[in-house]
Structure 1
Amino acid sequence: MSDAAPFREAEFLPVDLDVQRDGDGTIRLKSRVPLEVGDANLPRAIAARALTMGEKSAVAWRGADGEWVHLRYDVLKREIDAATQWLIDNVPRGRTMILMAGNGRAAAVLTVAAWGAGVILCPVGPAYGLAGGELLRLRHVFAKTDPVIVYADPHPALAAAVEAVAGPDVTILAPDPSLYTREAVALEDVLATAPTDAVAASIEAIDPDAVASYMLTSGSTGLPKLVEISLANFAANSAQGLMSIGRAAGWGDMMLDWLPWHHAAGAGLLRATLLNGGTIYVDGGKPMPGLFEESLRNMREIPVAYVNNVPLGYAMLVDAMEQDPVLRATYFSKLRLMLYGGAGLPQHVHDRLQQMAVAETGHRIHMTTGYGMTESVSGCMTIHFPTDKVGIGLPAPGLEVKLVRHDDRYEVRLRGPNVMRGYLDEPAKTAEAFDDEGYYRTGDLAVFHDDAQPGAGLAFAGRLAEEFKLSNGTWVYGGQLREALLKALAPHVAELVLCDDNRDYLGVLAWAKPDAPDDLLDLVAEQLRVFNAGQRGGSATVKRVALFDRPPNPGANEMSDKGTINRRAVLDNRPGDLERLYAAEPGDGVRAV
């Protein structure tokens, strides 16, 4: 890749950074560019936009015949108004609706309708109801939110889970009521409701600072926490994204995305698209074996200017594009911005993408991050300046970043109008989440790309929760080491987890890519020997490696809906794999390094 290749049609927010240094080594960062928030009454703002869009497609998804089905803006507004009226008539203001829906018509309509009716929305991934067993996570969410109504996509297992968990006083809303043994309200009946003046009155009565949604954390360290988010929080975060990357993203154009709307990043993309009058094509795939082929099919067909993905998705994409010139040509034909979130992007994946972009178009494609979390609504730090370095960028307008010294790195803390008010009915956890100055403790670690030039941005340097000690007391910096190992074990290893707390040495359990050679285990062991030669100390030296024979199980919380690995859940769910890795003598499927 040539550094001389210009970025393609990139429009950058100027870097105007305020940097303050405290005597204890703490550094505070914020943009001097003021945050400009539009109408925080999002149902009113989305309705106003829909009126100007008319018959333009708002949301599209593939129907049973594989062809795209379009929901026009005029129809979307009509159905939102109908659902809002029905909720006004049937659900007390300030009570909760649980929404268990995949991306599509029901999720788009009911999300905006709930806000308009003053009903608190709690989006829950359908996987919570499809996991089987005791449904502990789903029961936890119902107990916390005390919902009056629940919507669930049509699936027999999901229907059974809802009936098992929802009390008799909870109204069930369903596209197919016949799946239930008790009475359920048909979604089509709700969408046929005739709206009255009560809809506009309800929307005007909205308090943007009141709780509008409970968004679930990943639950990677236990049962999920429920984050209290207001429309003002949502609006501030949408404005941060628009100011930082919005012109390049072109949310008023076509979007193709798989990120689930019941998670922070996907929900943010839905809001941004509807607020800006764009069309979002729902990608029914995701970066997982057996599902990514659908994403590739869609990317061959729908060229877009902006792509939002997780690092694993980009890693799988570069492998596919190297073998598929048609995919590569379509993918880069309009592209001017790629965003990654959910985890740090390996530098080698970034570089391979840029090499392809330059070969295909003669330009580099601006690549940014959406660094953030559910507690900050979504991404609130971005790379809004030209660079080829992977990182987490700089704070968006309105955000204050506090960097607290932690060894040779900094713990990242956030404060701003997009940051949550707290966790539902968790006063102790809420208090623990904030420091004495009101900054949210992310638990993430970062370093400057250049200590002398803060404007060059920050780089991700691990998570406190992913760092663990070996039995000799030395720390393993899990985030940094995992990224380095993925690079060293490319191109045949798809994912890995580091093992394990209080063991005598460091081990790795890895997943192979589908096209991996038969002698992969021996090949990986040799790659690790080369890797170890460049390391210092046992905390970065791998002594054993084994391959998983079972893919990550989202239903067991091993992988999130965003495609990120939950290390602790993987190890807790697979004691047999862990024990064979650390057996006195390496057995089948294990190699000493």
Structure 2
Amino acid sequence: MALEVPYRSIPDMLLRRVGATPDARAFAVPTADDTGITWLTWAQIGDRAKAVAAGLAGLGVGLEDRVSILSGTRIEWVLADLGVNLAGGATTTVYPTTEPEDAAYIVADSGSKVLIAENPKQALKLSGVETSLTHIVVIDGLADASAQPPQLTLAELEERGRAALADNPGLIEAIAEGIGPDNIATLIYTSGTTGRPKGVELTHGGWCWQGVAQAGVGLFEPTDLQFLWLPLSHSFGKSLTCGIIHVGVPTYIDGRVDKLVDMLAVVKPTLMCGAPRIFEKVYNKTVTTATGDGGVKAKIFHWAVATGKRKVALEQEGKPVPAGLKAQYAVAEKLVFSKLQQRLGGRMRALVSGSAPLSRDIAEFFAAANLAIMEGYGLTEASAADFCNRHGKIKIGSVGPGLGDLECKIDTDGEILLRGKPVMRGYHNLPKETAEAFTEDGFLRTGDIGELDSDGYLRVTDRKKDLVKTSGGKYIAPSAIEGMFKAVCPYTSQAVVVGQARNFVTMLISLDEEAIASWATGGPLAGKPYEEIVTAPETEKMVAAYIEELNTKLNRWETVKKFAILPRDLSIEHGEVTPSMKVKRRSVEANFAEHIEKMYAGSLAQL
């Protein structure tokens, strides 16, 4: 059945939200001392976004003209993005961690007229580069009066917009009338694992579909309080913004990941979405804290987790939980799980994981702690949120059923194919690549391998291009093995399976700096720098034991025969992970080629 989407565009959706609940809480920001939060109403958000839009219109931004935003997640990002759309423009997103060369490429390739930069330092990334920019707007700091193209501050842009609206109060509504569902709202460049990133053209109709579809599966409730820290440069962040506007979900916005744990205690949210890396870090911290000293505390923790997992297993099978197990679980929750629940603010109704695969073991751990994670799946080319588990109907190991009226089928080689409103218009200025991305009957090729069960729940088994074929002809799904290892070894930051055309499987492992320092406390490595701890024989022995435990869960041809502990964590700066924390395998293998060759030295690897 077709999903009823009552909006023509994001401006239409926003103006209706402002009109319906002008005095309701919209977005909150931290107070200056991080001890509280300050709310903005929908009327205030609407007024400021319209001022930005009128200011941009004064700079010549019109229908589908691109405006780049180069900033971290903050309230001004939302205001700028909504302002661009209200002016008829299309937001081009650039991560603040993007290197100058790539930032310049995205701004130039998109044909952006205006750049909105977080501060003068970010604006400098475009210095001396030939682009279509006519103006640069800086959120923080002072505009450089002598710069070319000319600069102004966001406050000045809003002032100009307010003056224009005083002369023509209906300006933005008139512009909004001319924006339709097929117009581009956003241009998001995929951080491809090879070559130049491609600009994905996403439409107003697709984003409005997202907002309505998310509400339809109970992802958002108007009574929720959401903590939004995700990069808004990522499609997942934009899709959540659409759900927020459609439903009217009060949302605290703060992209400072280093403040995440502290602010959870202040905000006390009921809903939070994140990438698996966040849940892995919470898991690592919880396990290492509870078991680090051994003794009675560790025994109670292991008993509680086992009790919780027994309860979850019965619930997953649709079987009743016996009274005795319920009583045991109540004790486990009081002694152990309540502490984890409090760490997340104490009121969490729903956790959502997306953008990369979540380890089944870690999903089971959170479910055991009564913090079930609704894992979802999607890709930038289909506006980010395409499948999601439903609250109370979670199938662990799956990414849930499709949202709305999205069509999905599995190709003969196992590839997941999608068709529907949220799918991109195409790749910007790349007709050949656009044609290759679709089947003859208009389905988007996702590049992911998966299967649908009888209830329509999707399981994603791996990236098509990431499947490893050993020299013995056996296929291996790296992400499944990596996820299992992260759950087995709580000191892991990243794990990368290697084995393509090799005669056995190996693994590159980076350790979590905080967790491994905690492990070293009280022993001969206490207080030593990270680089020294990871090369110590004691660390090698500890990791080897976890590799042995992992191998008991694998088929013979999948077992990890050798491993290397890396001297540092994988990073965005070294090109090894994307800003959404997806591992770029080719870059990792290139950067740590010596470590890999050392593991295969003397073997009969076929290259």
Q: TM-score range by the shorter chain?
A: 0.7 to 0.9
Task: Output the CA distance in 1 between the equivalents of 2:492 and 2:75.
Answer: 37
- Cα shift at 1:389: 2.1
- Structure 1 76/559 Cα, relative in aligned 2: closer, same or farther at 3 Å? same
Residue aligning to 2:348: 335
1:50 lines up with 2:18 in the alignment: yes
Output the amino acid matched with 1:462. D
In 2, distance between residues paired with 1:558 and 1:567? 7
Q: How does 1:409-424 map to 2 (within 5 A)?
A: 410-424=414-428
Number of paired residues? 523
- Could you say if the C-alpha distance between residues 205 and 252 of structure 1 is closer, same or farther in structure 2, counting changes exceeding 3 Å? farther
Within 5 Å, which residues of 2 pair with 1:385-404? 386-404=393-411
SS in 2 for 1:245: coil
Residue by residue over 1:225-275, the C-alpha shift from the partner in whole angstroms, topping out at 9 and shown as x without a partner, is: 1111110011112211111124xx325532102111111111111222133
Aligned equivalents of 2:587, 2:495: Cα separation in 1: 13
- Note the 1:84-163 alignment, pairs <5 A: 84-93=53-62, 94-128=64-98, 131=99, 135-156=100-121, 158-163=122-127
Letter of the aligned partner of 2:400 in structure 1? Answer: G
SS of match in other structure, 1:127: coil
Deviation at 1:174, TM superposition (A): 1.1
**Contact conserved, 2:120 with 2:138, CA < 8 A, in 1?**
no
Shift of 1:525: 1.8
CA contact (8 A) 2:57 2:87 kept: yes
Structure 2 counterpart of 1:282, from 249, 253, 257:
253
Structure 1 residue matching 2:102: 3-state secondary structure: helix
C-alpha distance in structure 1 between counterparts of 2:265 and 2:107, whole Å: 40
Letter in 2 for 1:137: D
Q: CA deviation at 1:468?
A: 2.6
Unaligned runs of 5+ in 1: 1-32, 358-364, 586-593
**CA drift at 1:560:** 2.4
**Out of 223, 234, 245, which is 1:263 matched to?**
234
Cα distance in structure 2, aligned partners of 1:413 and 1:168: 36
Q: Which residue of 2 aligns with 1:455?
A: 455
> What's 2:412 paired with?
405
**Secondary structure, in 3 states, of the residue corresponding to 2:226?**
strand
Contact residue 87 and residue 114 of structure 1 kept, 8 A: yes
Shift in alpha-carbon separation, 1:109–1:169, aligned structure 2, 3 A = closer
Higher relative contact order (CA 8 A, sep 6+): 1
Q: Does 1:344 align with 2:357?
A: yes
Structure having the higher strand fraction is 1
Task: List per-residue Cα deviations over 1:571-591 (Å, max 9, x = no partner).
Answer: 223334334444459xxxxxx
Q: Give, in whole Å, the separation in 1 of the partners of 2:515 and 2:372.
A: 30
Amino acid at match of 1:399: L
1:303 to 253, 261, 268: 268
State the TM-score, normalizing by the size of structure 1: 0.82
Contact 1:138 1:165 survives alignment (8 Å): no
- For residues 499-578 of structure 1, the aligned pairs below 5 Å read 499-513=498-512, 514-516=514-516, 517=519, 519-533=538-552, 535-538=554-557, 540-578=558-596
Counterpart contact for 2:360–2:484, Cα < 8 Å = no
User: How far, CA to CA, are the matches of 1:486 and 1:232 in structure 2?
Assistant: 39
Kept in 2: contact 1:301–1:330 (CA 8 A): no
CA distance in 1, matches of 2:553, 2:286: 31
Distance in 2 (CA, whole Å) between partners of 1:320 and 1:456 is 35
Letter of the 2:515 partner, please give it.
D
Q: Is the partner of 2:590 in helix, strand or coil?
A: helix
Could you give the per-residue CA deviations for residues 195-223 of structure 1, whole angstroms, max 9, x where no partner exists? 12222111111122112211121222332
Shift of 1:327: 5.3
- Pairing 1:427–2:431 present: yes
1:168 Cα deviation from its structure 2 partner: 7.8
Aligned letter for 1:378? A
Whole-angstrom CA distance in 1 between matches of 2:222 and 2:191: 26
Q: CA offset at residue 92 of structure 1?
A: 4.0
Structure 2: distance between partners of 1:300 and 1:368 = 22
Shift of 1:443: 1.2
Q: Distance in 2 between matches of 1:233 and 1:372?
A: 13
Match of 1:368 in 2: 374
Cα shift at 1:180: 7.4
- Match of 1:556, SS? coil
CA distance 1:95–1:534, shift in 2 (3 Å): closer
Determine the C-alpha separation between the residues in 2 that align with 1:245 and 1:548.
42
Cα distance, 1:536 vs. partner? 3.8
Identity of aligned residues (%): 21
How far 1:58 moved relative to its partner? 2.3
Which of 307, 316, 319 aligns to 2:281? It is 316
**Partner Cα separation in structure 1 for residue 478 and residue 360 of structure 2:** 17
Q: Tell me whether 201-210 or 322-331 shows the greater mean CA deviation.
A: 322-331
Q: CA deviation at 1:550?
A: 1.4
Q: Deviations over 1:473-529 (max 9, x none)?
A: 443322223223333x32222320112433343211111233234523212223323
- Distance in structure 2 (CA, Å) of the matches to 1:76 and 1:113: 10
SS of structure 2 residue aligned to 1:444: strand
Deviations 1:376-434 (A, max 9, x none): 1011112236245221221222111011233xxx3210001111121011111111111
Residue 281 of structure 1 aligns with an amino acid whose one-letter code is Y
Task: State the secondary structure of the residue aligned to 1:479.
Answer: helix
Give me the whole-angstrom Cα distance separating, in 1, the residues matched to 2:72 and 2:125: 16
Deviation at 1:159, TM superposition (A): 2.5
Q: Distance in 2 between matches of 1:105 and 1:526?
A: 46
Instruction: Give the superposition deviation at 1:278.
Output: 2.5
Contact 2:210 2:243 in 1 (8 A): no
Once residues 73 and 296 of structure 1 are traced to their aligned partners in structure 2, the CA distance between those partners, rounded to angstroms, is 27
Query: 2:261 touches 2:343 (CA, 8 Å); kept in 1?
Result: no
TM-score by length of 2: 0.80
Q: In the alignment, what sits opposite 2:486?
A: 486
Q: 2: distance between equivalents of 1:558 and 1:466?
A: 15
Map of 2:383 onto structure 1? 377
| Cα drift, residue 369 of structure 1 | 2.4
Structure 2: how far apart are the matches of 1:126 and 1:275? 28
Kept in 2: contact 1:303–1:330 (CA 8 A) = no
Aligned match of 1:75 in 32, 44, 53?
44
Contact 1:177 1:184 in 2 (8 A): no
Moved more, 220-229 or 328-337: 328-337
Structure 1 residue 99: deviation in Å? 0.9
**Equivalent in the alignment of 1:10:** none
The CA RMSD measured in Å over matched residues stands at: 2.5
Deviations 1:25-75, CA, capped at 9 Å, x for gaps: xxxxxxxx5412121322122122123433444222335433434433222
Match of residue 153 from structure 2: 186
